[in-house]
Structure 1
């Protein structure tokens, strides 16, 4: 299954992002940023299913919550950064 990782600037920001998504019915999981894509070795992200990403981005824009970066996590474990 394909997922999107919404990279957040802090744990609190990631929690706010997940809560905003949950309010509109989108399952969101707060997790640590994988080392492979982390530039400084730490950070938090919100994992969202690919089928919900469009609605998730609209909900976050309405809540004025903006991810630092967005990555696609493919089923084979590879990552690609997405330009919004």
Structure 2
């Protein structure tokens, strides 16, 4: 299943992202990202559907939340994408 993961610098920041997306009507899930995607020990990620990325970025920027990195999960691999 394809999806995007948006890296956050902490669990608190990921929770803020989740609240922002929830207010915008976007479903998401917080989880710990794979270790090979980040060197930040306390990083968390928010998973969203591929079809909603433009709305996700709009909602996050509106609320002043900036992702550390964004990755597309496709065919068992992660590929970094530009925000």
Instruction: Give me the TM-score of the superposition, normalised by structure 1.
Output: 0.91
1:80 equivalent in structure 2 = 79
Q: Deviations over 1:16-47 (max 9, x none)?
A: 00110011110010000112212245510100
Count of paired positions: 83
On the 8 A contact 1:35/1:42 being kept in 2, the answer is no
Cα distance change, pair 20–40 in 1 and its aligned pair in 2 (3 A): closer
On the 8 A contact 1:31/1:44 being kept in 2, the answer is yes
Gaps in structure 2 of 5+ consecutive residues = none
User: Alignment RMSD, CA only?
Assistant: 1.2
Dislocated runs of 4+, deviation >6 Å: none
1:51 equivalent in structure 2 = 51
2:24 equivalent in structure 1 = 24
On the 8 A contact 1:8/1:67 being kept in 2, the answer is yes
Gaps in structure 1 of 5+ consecutive residues = none
Q: CA deviation at 1:3?
A: 0.6
On the 8 A contact 2:9/2:42 being kept in 1, the answer is no
Instruction: Give me the TM-score of the superposition, normalised by structure 2.
Output: 0.92
2:4 equivalent in structure 1 = 4
